[in-house]
Amino acid sequence: MRIDNLQYANWSEKIFRQMREGGLDAVHVTIAYHENFRETVLNFERWNRWFEQYPELIMAGYEASDVDKAKETGRTAIFFGFQNPSPIEDDIGLVEIVHRLGARFMQLTYNNQSLLATGCYEAEDTGLTRMGKQVVKEMNRVGLVVDMSHSADRSTIEAADFSERPIAITHANPHAWAPALRNKKDDVIRAVVENGGMMGFSLYPHHLKDKSNCTLEGFCTMIAQTAEKFGAEHLGIGSDLCQDQPDSVVEWMRVGRWTKEIDYGEGSAAAPGFPNMPEWFRDNRDFGNLENGLRNVGFNDDEIAGIMGCNWYRFYQNNFCAASAL
């Protein structure tokens, strides 16, 4: 089983076919960055058209059993998530609505302070807000997973402790290995996994040691060291693959509508666009390289199966249904 728990590609038949070539049974795709509720609905509509156009390649995913169905029928199950709480606007009632539409992950922040928590780029981290705590309770109730990938340290720890269900960091790496603002310190990772949560490792070059020149051995050694500290059963892949996206999309991701200035984020003024991927992970066809790399640094078959997909599958089983159904 292979599950990638975060991608934001420029979707096309080519990429859907590459998912099949790479043996991807499920992919969690970002369906909103800064979109409001109505704009997010339009993105759901776009995906419905793709499901109609390419039924032999992809299918909508709502629960873990859809991964099994996709695997049995040679397709990739698509699960939706938001990298910002903007789709629920300031209305807690929309949490249940977006879950019914198909959303299964929602970040409480995207870099900046939101109505719910503090983003990783803010100078002061005040933790979960009053609304944030209420929204987390509602997300727990309906089965919408709390994602803290772009959140600041205190906010992430508070979310992990406050949430009655395990939370996720869907796409990031250890800060000690690659000190990007987005990467997570050990106390943050510990809070997530000790509460039953998951950490997905990112292949986005700005989150890697040596960036685009990161080696497969170096990346897999980092996973091995993380497994020694926190347990392999809490780890998976969230590649953050942004394949075929034009550089203009970076501006939407980082800037949205909140500023008139260009925010280069983890890039630089000299290179504001997407960085080159490592040569051993260009697209979905290269997931086999990750399996080989994990084996070469000492993981056994069961551990590799977990990191490549089974750990996320188990997380889906326990967290995508309403609390009343547990």
CATH number at 132 reads 3.20.20.140
What is the number of structural domains in the chain?
1
Confidence grade of residue 264 (pLDDT, cut at 50, 70, 90):
low
Asked if the structure places residue 265 within a domain, the reply is no
312 falls within a domain: yes
Write the pLDDT tens digit of every residue in 19-33: 999 999 999 999 999
> pLDDT tens for residues 169-216?
999 999 999 999 999 999 999 999 999 999 999 999 999 999 999 999
Residue 261 lies in a domain: no
Question: Tell me, what's the pLDDT at 266?
Answer: 64
The structure's pTM equals: 0.95
Extract the runs of DSSP E, i.e. beta strands, from 45-185: 58-60, 76-82, 103-107, 145-147, 168-172
* Residue 249 forms part of a structural domain: no
Name the residue among 10, 96, 87, 4 with its Cα closest to residue 44: 87
Average pLDDT over residues 72-87: 98
Any domain includes 108: yes
Specify if 264 maps to a domain. Answer: no
Whether residue 81 is predicted with pLDDT greater than 80 in this model: the reply is yes
Residue 49 lies in a domain: yes
pLDDT at 238: 98
pLDDT at 267 over 90: no
Q: Is residue 159 part of a domain?
A: yes
Contact predicate 239/304, CB 8 Å: no
Which residue range forms the structural domain that includes residue 188? 3-243+277-325
